[in-house]
Amino acid sequence: MQATDTLERRRALRTTRSLILLTIFGLLALFFALNFRIVVVNGPSMEPTYKSGDRLLMTTAYWLFGNIQRGDVVVIIRPNGELLIKRVVAFGGERVPEKYWTPLVYMMGGQVPEGHIFVVGDNLARSEDSRQIGAIPLSYVQGKIVGGQGELP
């Protein structure tokens, strides 16, 4: 009788452990599915760092990797739904580095408005970025690149 009780307790303990592990795995999978996404580079604007067709890992939970900083690569969604992958070079209230000045930047007074970022592609000659479209509202930032093909940020 005592052996049967011990055997039943062991089975119950194994079942409990299995359920706990399954729950933890499920929560981690859910967290990953909700906070990470694969994005594909489209076009030459981020060459040589990333080439068209490269797959990158973007996180919307970029606070896990630190807030967005100068030099980070971010994914931006434009009002038309198009995704842009660009590098951050200045934040709201900061002066745009002179090497990125265009007539539009000059009209902005060379300053990035509060609540915005100034982004450029690594391939300046073939990138549509803040030099042409202006500073990007932070609300347009979908996430931060944290891994993938090419030279990582």
* Active-site residue set: 45, 86
How do 136-137 and 36-40 pair as beta strands?
unpaired
Q: Which residues pair with 118 in a beta bridge?
A: 90
Residues 6+ apart with CB under 8 A from 22: none
Sort residue 152 into left (φ over 0), alpha (ψ -120 to 50) or beta: beta
**Cα distances (angstroms) measured from residue 144 to each of 19, 63, 66:** 34, 9, 10
